[in-house]
Chains A and B, each alone.
Chain A
Amino acid sequence: MIRVDSITITEFRGIRDLTLNFKDRNFAVCGPNGTGKSGVVDALEFVLTGNVSRLSGEGRGDISLKQHGPHVDIRNSPGRAHVKATITIPSLGKTVAIRRTVKTPTRLQVTPSDPAVLEVLRQVQGHPEIVLSRREVIRYVIATPGDRAKEVQPLLHLDQVEDVRINLQKIANDCQRQLPPITSELDQARVRLLQALQIADLTEEKVLIAVNAQRVTLGLKALGSFTETTSFKDGIAVPAPAVPRRIPKAPALTDIRAAREALAEICSTNTTTVVAGAAAELKAIAGDPTVAACAKREAFYTAGMELIQTDACPFCDIHWDLVEIKKHVQGKIDELEELARKRREIEGKIAPLIHILANVQSMMKTLVGYAALATPPITMEAARDYGEECGRSIEMLRSVLPAQEALLALNYFRSVPQAIATFISDLEGLVAALPEPTKLDAAIEWLTIAQERFEVFLHIVHKQKVAVKRAETTRLVSDIYAATSDTVLP
């Protein structure tokens, strides 16, 4: 902290020669327009910081300190325009004289000069908020007592502290939201793996018993452990590329049963109840034109907020009040926050429906894969289209907005097309009619499918680990920041 004892202004702005002695008291300057009141404030800012806010920064066009700092009568002699001040630094118990000229505004003359004094002056120079604009002063003076603390925040750059808090929280929330879809994907992969292994729990003991039973049939050495690098097929000769793949009869019949169960879930009583609840929520926001408009502007506001870094518009260079414009845009974003909260609520209700669709999509893909190996060929376009449509519906439901599209996606839960039922019956008939494979072929097919699904499962496990780590890190950062800023700024 410093105290300005006196100031002498020479040929600076509208002032030819003026000395003010503040006498360690509050000091006010008053007078008609154009008499140089702001020049006193400019001089004070200039001698302390080497800058005059009103003459610098973006959006000031051709105005510059060197051109417009000196008095109009000596505009070509910036060396004559200077400001001197005497200041006291209570913490050091020292009084020093400082002087700065417009010709060399970055050079501050300090008498007496020592490192401690220079450090204090350096800190002052880094804080141009020592000079408040008329608008800032008025805003603070007319604020109601309850709002005064809020008004002083931008003056102390507390808006920066708040910006960081909001952004860290948003990043942490985003990472958290990425977890449920991955968890759902992992659940499906686990179910598919268990189906292939024909066991109920994914324990090392049960996996080894199931896998080794097949390996013993093939005369292969039993596996002693089950890790991420375990290959169920270890020791099986790789088939020549020319040998066409056959439909593995037993696994295919198991998957056909699983597909029927997945499709039955679409129209179950429980699902219908969940669909009705989600539809009611979606209809409520679909009928609100404000919601639709806000949703479209969300990305625009967020990007705009990042562009508000200087005191002029980055598009047209028109000057704006940095604090006011940030507050204005933040207000818009706050409106969207209410929308985001509602969206999170609906996402929670929709999550089980997405899980059902994802399961159906996965089963359709598997059955289409079997159908591609069928001889004679069977019509599978309907199943392929159904699976793809399922994927599109999942995306629409995950987005939630536009609500009209999410509502359309809910139509998916009304019934299963007859063409799908026909496809599954045809495939089942074809698979059932296949000759029973030899024990050796059946064991190879079993181990091959189990290995494929094990690898898919591992891939998603890895993906989930990364997502969990990201969510934990961002949450830790956000929580510690919130706690620290609350402690420092109680």
Chain B
Amino acid sequence: MSTESKPDDLSDVPKLVFDKFLQALAGANAPPDVVGRLRKTLLDDKKFTERTLREAVLPEEQPR
């Protein structure tokens, strides 16, 4: 079965979505520093709050 031949594909749905999102973002000529910070926030730190995402997308903005 295809699900058995590719066991990794659905093993971590958020990671799958975040990976594809970051690839699409980089392909859409988003600023590389924004892509890098989002990668750290979503995949390494696994922080999904508005504050952490705001810091990743708008690092120059003071925390609200």
Contact = CB atoms under 8 A, between A and B. Distances in A.
B54 A171 contact: yes
User: On chain A, which size bracket covers the interface?
Assistant: 35 or more
A476 interface: yes
B62 interface: no
A91 B7 contact: yes
A161 B14 contact: yes
Given A1-B4, A171-B50, A484-B24, A477 B30 contact: yes
Nearest to A93: B4
Interface string B11-52: 111101110110011001011001000100010001011110
A318 interface: no
A489 interface: yes
Contact of A488 (B7, B16, B31): B16
Contacts of B30: 473, 476-477, 480
Nearest to A481: B21
Contacts of A305: 49
A474 B31 CA distance: 11
A1 B7 contact: yes
Chain A contact surface mostly: helix
Interface string A200-225: 00000000000000000000000000
A306 B11 contact: no
B48 A160 contact: yes
A242 interface: no
A302 B16 CA distance: 27
Interface in A109-164: 120, 123, 126-127, 156-158, 160-161, 163-164
Given A171-B50, A470-B58, A489-B17, A480 B24 contact: yes
Contacts of B4: 1, 90-91
A119 to B, nearest CB: 9
Q: Taking each of B18, B28, B30, B50, which has the highest tally of chain A beta carbons within 10 Å of its own beta carbon? A: B50
A477 B38 contact: yes
B34 A163 contact: no
B20 A164 contact: no
Interface string A457-490: 0000000000000100110110011011101110
Given A170-B50, A171-B57, A487-B20, A156 B13 contact: yes
A488 B9 CA distance: 11
A483 B42 CA distance: 17
Contacts of B25: 476-477, 480-481
B13 A120 contact: no
B47 to A, nearest CB: 9
A164 B51 CA distance: 11
Q: Taking each of B5, B11, B42, which has the highest tally of chain A beta carbons within 10 Å of its own beta carbon? A: B11
Interface residues of B, number: 33
Q: Taking each of B3, B21, B46, B58, which has the highest tally of chain A beta carbons within 10 Å of its own beta carbon? A: B21
Interface in A85-99: 90-91
B34 A158 contact: no
B17 A167 contact: no
A439 B21 CA distance: 65
Contacts of B28: 476, 480
B48 A488 contact: no
Nearest to A164: B48
Nearest to B20: A484
Contacts of A480: 21, 24-25, 28, 30
Nearest to A488: B17
Contacts of A164: 18, 42, 48, 53
Contacts of B42: 164
A91 B3 CA distance: 9
A48 interface: no
Contacts of B7: 1, 91, 120, 123
A324 B24 CA distance: 32
B50 A306 contact: yes
A412 to B, nearest CB: 29
B31 A473 contact: yes
A123 B28 CA distance: 31
A77 to B, nearest CB: 36
Contacts of A171: 50, 53-54, 57-58
A485 B57 contact: no
A481 B24 CA distance: 8
A476 B21 CA distance: 11
Interface of A: 1, 90-91, 120, 123, 126-127, 156-158, 160-161, 163-164, 167-168, 170-171, 175, 302, 305-306, 470, 473-474, 476-477, 480-481, 483-485, 487-489
The 9 closest A-B pairs by CB, nearest first: A484-B21, A167-B50, A306-B49, A163-B48, A160-B14, A91-B7, A90-B4, A167-B53, A488-B17
